[in-house]
Amino acid sequence: MPLYKTFNPNSQTTVKIWKITESYDDLFEPLDLKPDSLKRVLSMKSDWHQRGFLCVRHILRDSGYTDQDLFYDGYGKPHLKDGKCISITHSFLYVGVIVSDCEVGIDIEMQRDKIARIAPKFIDYEFNYLKKDTGTYINELTIIWCIKESLYKLFATPGMVFKDHFLVIPFMIYDAKTVAWIDFKSKKYRYEATFLEFEGFTCAYVIA
């Protein structure tokens, strides 16, 4: 059960992406889930969600952790018992996990035309530089969504709104990186965001 991609953005950070090709039973059998995790995965109605949940645990195992090492705070943000920072994402075929000494956020999304319909819900400033008549419009929207979702996961603060509090400066897809800002409660935070595309999916991550 090999990982699809593994890379190190810096010496303190590892990103692992898993392509789900295994059955639920094959993923479930080798794992030792704590009772809360077992109850959660059995309650999931979607096979994709179940397998994605289990793949996260396989990535943890590949990184030297167990299900018992992972826990969630009151805001639903994941943590590791050894104090390392972690962020998790799942979209259809792919699961991604980033582990670092620093606060991190990661997101994977399938590139789909319907994102253009919901763009006004998560974009404001970015409409100033996006061009709908290009062949990359859907890709660019997906990158922006993934970056903002990653920022949201990193910051994990109630009340944040993608459209109002997150800003992604102009970028070129081939650069694979850009700068993003959080403007929230009279404070501004600057982050470098990195993104990549593969097999009709986009992944973005931010490291504090």
150 with 135, same domain: the answer is yes
pLDDT given at position 194: 98
Could you list the residue range(s) of the whole structural domain that residue 46 is in? 5-101
Last residue of a domain, one of 77, 101, 125: 101
pTM of the model as a whole: 0.95
Judged by DSSP in three states, 201 sits in strand
> What's the number of domains the chain is made of?
2
33 with 114, same domain: the answer is no
Amino acid at 187: K
| Contact of 68 with 34, CB cutoff 8 Å | yes
Degrees, nearest 5: CA angle 158-176-114: 60
Tokens encoding 199: 């097999």
Tens-digit pLDDT string for the chain (208 aa): 579 999 999 999 999 999 999 999 999 999 999 999 999 999 999 999 999 999 999 999 999 999 999 999 988 899 999 999 999 999 999 999 999 999 999 999 999 999 999 999 999 999 999 999 889 999 999 999 999 999 999 998 889 999 999 999 999 999 999 999 999 998 999 999 999 999 999 999 999 9
| CA atoms of 96 and 150, how far apart (whole Å) | 12
CATH value at residue 127: 3.90.470.20
How many Å separate Cα 162 from the centre of its chain? Answer: 15
65 with 129, same domain: the answer is no
Neighbours of 121 (CB within 10 A): 10
Last residue of a domain, one of 84, 101, 118: 101
141 with 172, same domain: the answer is yes
